[in-house]
């Protein structure tokens, strides 16, 4: 798909600095831009690539002032990072088409209700009393259990499994092989040392504008609902246990795990491999660095934590400096003894 600079500027509500007829047909990173490609520049540490880049078009912030000649046509926008996301959305939407309303070997029932222009891929199963909103795309080999509600403009990628009775809002994206609504990890210990399974009778509610990564699992609640609030973004290979509640616009990086009945606030950030214990509460605007182990509740908003057990970020850095110093002293001592 080919675009001219003036067309892109119109889409992004930007201005062209250079040749408005410059054409591009692919995206590239600023450090590897080639003729026929479009790049974007937002991070100052990559500025030197702007002058070396062979791309035909570069999206930049309006405030950018070149310090050297630039060979590419510049499209100036308010926020380059947000604009490239908007452009990618536009291009992806243009590429998608509803070639088939129903795929082959699709299992559905008379009680199933589809909205306008719903796409269902080959070998998918859509259960009884399911409701699917307008313009939603359900790709190949997806399972949607009985009584589930799926909103409008959703994308459910191949291999996703959604258990019966789940609720999916509008504009939700669920990537391949995610599982929504499996039983939580709940077992009652018995006197003989064995465990009795605790049945989970609740569901999962995923609100609007949520994105869930590939191979992520979100367990249904024992009673009530596991809730993923509006705007939450969850990376690949994450685990959300039963009865967890995640506040609006919180983000979780890969391999993060949240144990049962924990409540996460709004606008929180979790780096990769963060582990959060069960039955605790995390205040709004809390951040956890990668591999943090969170053992207790966080009551004060706006704090950053690191380490296991997780402690305030600045305190961790002071402790690390001591660890490093002591480690160096022990190493020198060991060398002297040898």
β-pairing, 15-17 vs 73-77, is: antiparallel
Closest CA relative to residue 223, chosen from 241, 203, 244:
203
What is the number of alpha carbons within 13 Å of residue 336 lying toward its C-beta? 6
Say if residues 157 and 120 touch (Cβ distance below 8 Å).
Answer: no
Tell me how many degrees the CA angle 83-86-88 measures, rounded to the nearest 5.
Answer: 110
The first and second tokens of residue 273, run together, are: 């491999």
Q: Within 10 A of 78 (CB to CB), how many other CB atoms are there?
A: 12
Distance, CA of 253 to CA of 206 (rounded, Å): 18
Cβ-contact 102, 90 below 8 angstroms: no
Radius of gyration of the CA atoms of the chain, in A: 25
Q: Which of 174, 180, 148 is nearest to 161 (CA)?
A: 180
In the three-class reduction of DSSP (H, G, I as helix; E, B as strand; rest coil), residue 245 is classed as: strand
Query: Closest Cα to residue 281, out of 318, 254, 253, 243?
Result: 243
Choosing from 153, 200, 242, 267, which is the catalytic residue? 242
Known catalytic residue: 48?
Answer: no
Angstrom distance (rounded) from CA 146 to CA 164: 5
CA atoms within 13 A on the CB side of 285: 4
Structure tokens at 151: 């909103």
Q: Which residues are catalytic?
A: 242
């Amino acid at each position: 798909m080919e675009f001219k600079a003036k067309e892109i500027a119109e889409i992004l509500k930007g201005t062209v600095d250079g040749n408005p007829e410059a054409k591009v047909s692919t995206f590239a990173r600023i450090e590897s831009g080639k003729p026929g490609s479009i790049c974007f520049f937002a991070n100052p540490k990559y500025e030197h690539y702007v002058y070396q880049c062979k791309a035909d078009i570069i999206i930049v912030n309006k405030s950018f002032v070149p310090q050297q000649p630039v060979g590419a046509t510049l499209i100036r926008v308010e926020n380059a990072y947000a604009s490239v996301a908007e452009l990618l959305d536009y291009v992806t939407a243009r590429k998608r088409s509803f070639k088939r309303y129903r795929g082959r070997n699709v299992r559905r029932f008379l009680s199933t209700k589809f909205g306008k222009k719903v796409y269902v891929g080959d070998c998918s199963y859509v259960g009884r009393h399911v409701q699917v909103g307008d313009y939603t795309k359900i790709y190949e080999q997806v399972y949607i259990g009985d009584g589930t509600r799926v909103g409008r403009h959703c994308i459910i990628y191949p291999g996703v499994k959604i258990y019966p009775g789940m609720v999916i809002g509008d504009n939700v994206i669920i990537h391949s092989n995610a599982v929504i609504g499996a039983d939580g990890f709940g077992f009652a210990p018995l006197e003989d040392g064995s465990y009795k399974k605790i049945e989970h009778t609740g569901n999962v509610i995923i609100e609007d504008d949520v994105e869930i990564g590939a191979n992520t699992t979100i367990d249904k609640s024992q009673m009530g609902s596991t809730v993923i609030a509006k705007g939450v973004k969850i990376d690949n290979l994450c685990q959300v246990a039963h009865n967890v509640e995640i506040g609006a616009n919180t983000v979780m990086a890969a391999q993060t795990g949240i144990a049962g009945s924990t409540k996460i606030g709004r606008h929180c950030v979790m780096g990769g491999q963060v582990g959060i214990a069960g039955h605790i509460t995390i205040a709004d605007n809390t951040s956890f660095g990668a591999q943090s182990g969170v053992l207790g509740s966080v009551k004060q908003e706006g704090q950053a934590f690191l380490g296991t057990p997780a402690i305030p970020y600045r305190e961790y850095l002071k402790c690390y400096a001591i660890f490093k110093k002591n480690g160096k002293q022990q190493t020198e001592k060991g060398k002297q003894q040898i």
